[in-house]
Amino acid sequence: MSENQARQPLEIVVFPMLSDNYGFLIHDPASNATAVVDPAEAEPVLAACKAKNWTLTHILNTHHHGDHVGGNLALKAKTGCRIIGPAYDRDRIPGIDVTVDEASGADFGSRHAQIFFVPGHTRGHIAYWFAEDHALFCGDTLFALGCGRLFEGTPAQMWSSLLKLRALPDETRVYCAHEYTQSNARFALTAEPENEALAAQTEKVAAARAAGRFTIPSTLKIEKACNPFLRADQPALRRRFGGPGMKDADVLGAIRAAKDRF
Is 134 noted as a catalytic residue in this protein? Answer: no
Told to check if 140 binds Fe ion by CB under 5 A, we report yes
Task: Give the nearer residue to Zn ion in terms of CB position, either 84 or 150.
Answer: 150
Q: How far is the CB of 115 from Zn ion (least distance, A)?
A: 17
Task: Give the nearer residue to Fe ion in terms of CB position, either 57 or 122.
Answer: 122
Is 68 noted as a catalytic residue in this protein? Answer: yes
Told to check if 179 binds Fe ion by CB under 5 A, we report no
Task: Give the nearer residue to Zn ion in terms of CB position, either 64 or 240.
Answer: 64
Catalytic residue selected from 28, 38, 133, 140: 140
Give the per-residue SS3 of the chain. Answer: CCCCCCCCCCEEEEEEECCCEEEEEEEECCCCEEEEECCCCCHHHHHHHHHHCCCCCEEECCCCCHHHHCCHHHHHHHHCCEEEEEHHHHHHCCCCCEEECCCCCEEECCEEEEEEECCCCCCCCEEEEEHHHCEEEEECCEECCEECCCCCCCHHHHHHHHHHHHCCCCCCEEEECECCHHHHHHHHHHHCCCCHHHHHHHHHHHHHHHCCCCCCCEEHHHHHHHCHHHCCCCHHHHHHHCCCCCCHHHHHHHHHHHHHHC
Q: How far is the CB of 184 from Fe ion (least distance, A)?
A: 14
Cis peptide before 44 (omega within 30 of 0): no
The residue ranges that bind Zn ion (CB under 5 A) are: 65, 140
Is 89 noted as a catalytic residue in this protein? Answer: no
Catalytic residue selected from 27, 58, 64, 121: 121
Is 58 noted as a catalytic residue in this protein? Answer: no
Q: How far is the CB of 244 from Zn ion (least distance, A)?
A: 34
Catalytic residue selected from 65, 89, 125, 250: 65
Is 91 noted as a catalytic residue in this protein? Answer: no
Piece of 46-54, 63-71, 156-164, 252-260 that binds Fe ion (CB under 5 A): 63-71
Task: Give the nearer residue to Fe ion in terms of CB position, either 67 or 192.
Answer: 67
Catalytic residue selected from 28, 38, 67, 133: 67
The binding site for Fe ion (CB under 5 A) comprises 67, 140
Task: Report the catalytic residues.
Answer: 63, 65, 67-68, 121, 140, 178
